[in-house]
Structure 1
Amino acid sequence: MVLEAERWLELRRFRALRDAGASISEIARETGLNWRTVKKYVEDDDGPAAPPAAVPRPSRRWQMIEQYAPVIDAWLRAELLLKATVVHERLVEEYGFPGTYQRVKLYLQQARPRIAEELGFTPRELARLHRRFEVVPGAQAQVDWGDEGGILAHAGIAKVYSFHKTLSYSRDPFVCFTTSQDLATFWACHRRAFEHFGGVPGSVVYDRTKTVVRRHVAPGKAVPLHPEAVAFAGHYDFDIDVLAAYRPTGKGRVERQVLIVRDHVLAGRSFSCLEELDRAFLAWVPVRRRTVHRTHGEVIGVRARRDHLALRPVPAKPYLAADRHQRHVAKDCLVAFEANLYSVPATRVFHRQLVEVRASSATVSLHATVPDENGIKLLAVHPRATGRGNRIVDPEHWRGLPDGHTRATTTGHDPAEPSDQLAARRRRHQQQGALGFLLARSDAAGIEVGRRSLAVYDQITGTGPFP
């Protein structure tokens, strides 16, 4: 059938020769075909006016996936948005599927809408589409955390995290590495990012992290922000943009940056401290800025210059965010926080007094809930302890408490006391009577005790044998 179609296409070009008067034999000699074949396709008016349709043959790859179609359809009915990578993995593991991921992906493209219509899903519920947005220079940045695991475990650091901030217009990156994700560290990383970019963006996009959101609420309701997040954003004059739950596409720029930094900065290298990690990123930044971004099609560094010029200025006075907690003062004037003890002045507190602990990344300050007569709430400031079980004590805080320096013992007389004074003191005790004499512990041993037989007590009480 294919050969016949090719001959038809070839001979069709010589129909004009036949119309011009060329004979069938002349056309046959020109094409190298039998004159009967030429006559069939060139001269016969009843011949085919169009090439014969080729009979479609099913693809071998399609035949391969067809035998697994009932299994895939059953999985889609249970979970319509099941990823193609998961389907391919399960087919290989459970059924020995010999095909490729691409074959599974193509099948899902036609099977998923069919199953969705069968289940009654709307196209919006099926696709979960999102709107791509672009911003003007300096308008937005996105923030995310990366978990780098035990990259410094050999140096005694069990866990390392990477803080990422990306300018949305240019995709200019910032990364720093920490050992904690607490509130003080989180906002300290923001200050470092502002210094790196040379300004503050108009808004910053976050997911619902506990350092930004005070608590989780139902979809559609206003998200209550953490007080320290509100204070920090107000000081640096930017807006907080919190994503809806389970919508990671809202900050895809920074999430992509997490993977890029791992591949280009961390992969295949060893480090001994956090500072080395930070230096490795800063050394890679010029390389990144020379790259042409595939989305906006410009060199990142060129676009970043416009982004940086549009940023708002950084305030001269930094805002030191602190994690706030309330604790009670113990009898020893110590306050427990994160399994460590910090002292407060004994003259300004009392037992079980409630105080506020404000923990920054470097210090722990303790404040009274009510100001004193001078309007001062601050009680003490200590360096923040690392680890657990530490006691951070200022000796001045215990001034005025009993320390035992006045405690003393005596045997009743001074060995250096003259003998005539000792004799005179004993005579005074004797004149005061037996009680006064017993007051001196050293003289008590000199008192003569009367001795009597136990039979005397038997006679008094009327019990016991009598002689």
Structure 2
Amino acid sequence: MSYENVHSLLKELKLEGISRVLDSSLQNWSKGDKNVLELIEDLLIAQKKENENKKYITALRYSGLPFHKTLEEFDFSFQPSIDRKQIMELKTLRFMYEKENVVFLGPPRVGKTHLAVGLGMEALREGKKIYFVNAITLVDRLKKAFVERHFEKTIRFYKSLDLLIIDELGYLPLDTEGAKLFFELVSQKYEQGSIILTSNRSFTEWDKIFEDEVLATAVLDRLLHHSMIVNIRGKSYRLKEKQKTGFIAIQTTIGRTDKLRKSER
């Protein structure tokens, strides 16, 4: 069999990993640096990595993640209220193996979604099945599924996930029907897989989200029974970007100038 035929067969069999390292592996073998078994092992390892990378890319495409920022890209110095050790503990994904939840609380633009996405990226690298969805979008899908009589099928999908990331719970209140369906999802997911949830409201305000104190308490009971809470108290990243451009400083100067002019009058 010719060299060209070997590469043609590898391409036909979609063994791109082996094809990529075949030449260098054969050179090492011909020099006596590797025996036949080591050569085969190198080729198989290369193909395994190729398969894992393809699987990761596909999972990333269907994960629903709004962006692909990692935990390494997070600026902890800008948010000193965040315990970096706590986030690094979450990065190990032990909470997922324990089927625990994570709740990020804090005002808008403090990095809640970035941290949630970063943990999602870590889970994807470990071959976990994850999905990211905005809270309102999620509830709308649940309501649609209920009306169209495939609610149980939809719930089974969310239950099958190793990690469900629900973003921005609390920006808008849920109506009674939506709140009940959301509770049903959380109940079904309880101890079956992990949830990461971000919210701009403290737990004491959740009755405003669900418009029912009893239902809010029930949701909290399921979410917080096995969970880690990260409460972020810091400045907005949008404000940080404006400070970089000097916009905030300019506005402050203008404001002071206006006040001085008024006092002079």
Same fold flag (TM > 0.5): no
Bin for the TM-score computed over the shorter chain = under 0.3
TM-score by length of 1: 0.15
Return the structure number with greater helix share. Answer: 2
**Structure 2-normalised TM-score?**
0.23
Q: Using CA pairs below 8 Å that are at least 6 residues apart, which structure has the higher relative contact order?
A: 2
